Structure 1
C-alpha cells in the first residue's frame, strides 16, 4: 500500500520516500507518494526521483495492485533498490495546471447542471460530456458565468463520508461514466464554497486548487455533438 499524500495536500512538490517494490514492467512503488496516478479523467503526474546522486525521470504515474501507486520511468534505467530512501520531485507547473483545470470542470458542471457522461482533464484544455440533447443557446453567457465563479474566489475543500452515507445521497454523484471507488471504507468529497454559498459537492479523488480564483481566466471551446443525446463541451485555460 502506498500512502497517497496528494489526497490531503495537493500542494506538496517534494517529499522523501522509501522504495518498497518494483513492478514487472519496470515501475517503482514507494511507501508514500505525492504523484497522482491516472484515474477519474485526470492524467498521472510526472517529475523525477533522486537518490545517491542519481536521478530518474518519471514519465507518468499509474495505479498498481491493491493500493499501490506506481511511478513509471521515462526510459529504461537501473532502478533504485528496494529499501532505498529517495526524494520525489513533482513537475509542479504541469500538476498545477491540471489542478486548475480539474476545479474548472467542476464549475462547468455547476453552470450546466446536467448528468455527466464522460470527461478528460488536460494541462491546456479539458472537457465534459453531458446528457444534453441541445447545445446551450448562449455560449457567451456560459463562459461569462464560469469566469464569474472563478472571480468569486470561493474556497475549495474536502471531507470524507462513508459508503452508506453516499448510498443515502445518490444525487451527490454527477458522473454517469465513472463511479466513486468502493471498498475502501470512505469516500472523498470535494466542496466548492462554504456555508450558505456551497455551489458544488461531489465525490472526487483528484487534485484541486484551494480557491476558485487560482484557476485564472477560462475560455469555452467547441461544443460538439457526440450522439443524439450527448454534447461535448471543451474548456481552455487562458
Structure 2
C-alpha cells in the first residue's frame, strides 16, 4: 500500500519517495505519494519525478492493486529503477485549482440540498448532477448563497468513522451514483465548519483547501437537463 501523502498533507508540493515496482503498462509505484490518483470525479495529479540519473514527466496518477498509487509517465522513456530514491514534484497550480473546485462543489451540495447523481472536477470549473425534477427558480440567489458560504472562511477538516457507523448513518452519503469506499474498516469524512457553524459533513477521499475563503468567488453556469429528473449545475472559478 502506498502512503497517501496527498491526503495527510495536501499542501505538499514536493517530497522524497522510493520506487517499489513498475507495472506491466509502464507505470511507477512509489512507497509514498503526493500525487492524487484519479477517483471520485477528481482527476489524477501531474508533475515530475527526479532521480540521480534522470527525470520523467508524470501525466497522471491512478489507483493500482492493494492500495497502490501508480504514477503514469507522459511518454515512453527511461524509468527510475526499482529501489531508487526519487523526488516528487507536483504540478501545484493545477492541483490547487482542483482543491478549490472540489471544496466549492461540497458547498454547492449545501445550497442545493438534493441527492447528487454525479459530478466532475476540473481546473477551471466543476459540476454536480442533481436529482432535480424542476429547475431552480432563482439561480442568482443560489450563486449569492454559495459565495456567502465561501466568504465565511470556514475551516475544512477531516475525521474518520467505521464502516458500521456509516452504514448506520446513510444520510451522510449525498451521492446516489458513487458510494464511499468501504471494506477497509473506516471511511474518511470531510467537515466544513465547526460546532454550531458546521455546514457540511460527508464521506470523501479527495483533496480540499484548508479554509473556504481560499476558493475565491465562483459563478454558476447554465443548468442543463440530463434525463427525466436529472439536472447538471456547473460552477466556475472567477480567477
Q: Same fold (TM over 0.5)?
A: yes
Compute the TM-score of the two structures, normalised by the length of structure 1.
0.99
Mapped pair 1:218 → 2:218: yes
Q: What is the distance in 2 between the residues matched to 1:194 and 1:16?
A: 34
Q: What is the distance in 1 between the residues matched to 2:121 and 2:89?
A: 22
Compute the TM-score of the two structures, normalised by the length of structure 2.
0.99
How many angstroms does 1:40 deviate by?
Answer: 0.3
4+ residue stretches of structure 1 with deviation over 4 A?
A: none
> Could you give the per-residue CA deviations for residues 26-54 of structure 1, whole angstroms, max 9, x where no partner exists?
00000000000000000000000000152
Q: What is the distance in 2 between the residues matched to 1:66 and 1:236?
A: 35
The residue correspondences of 1:10-89 to structure 2 (distance < 5 A) are 10-89=10-89
> Could you give the per-residue CA deviations for residues 183-220 of structure 1, whole angstroms, max 9, x where no partner exists?
11110000000011110000000000000000001000
How many angstroms does 1:222 deviate by?
Answer: 1.1
Aligned length: 238
The residue correspondences of 1:1-238 to structure 2 (distance < 5 A) are 1-238=1-238
> Could you give the per-residue CA deviations for residues 131-167 of structure 1, whole angstroms, max 9, x where no partner exists?
0001110000011011001100000000011001101
Q: What is the distance in 1 between the residues matched to 2:32 and 2:165?
A: 28
Q: Secondary structure at the match of 1:20?
A: strand
In structure 2, runs of 5+ residues without a counterpart are: none
Q: What is the distance in 2 between the residues matched to 1:132 and 1:110?
A: 14
Q: What is the distance in 1 between the residues matched to 2:85 and 2:226?
A: 48
In structure 1, runs of 5+ residues without a counterpart are: none
Q: What is the distance in 2 between the residues matched to 1:150 and 1:199?
A: 11
Q: What is the distance in 2 between the residues matched to 1:37 and 1:78?
A: 22
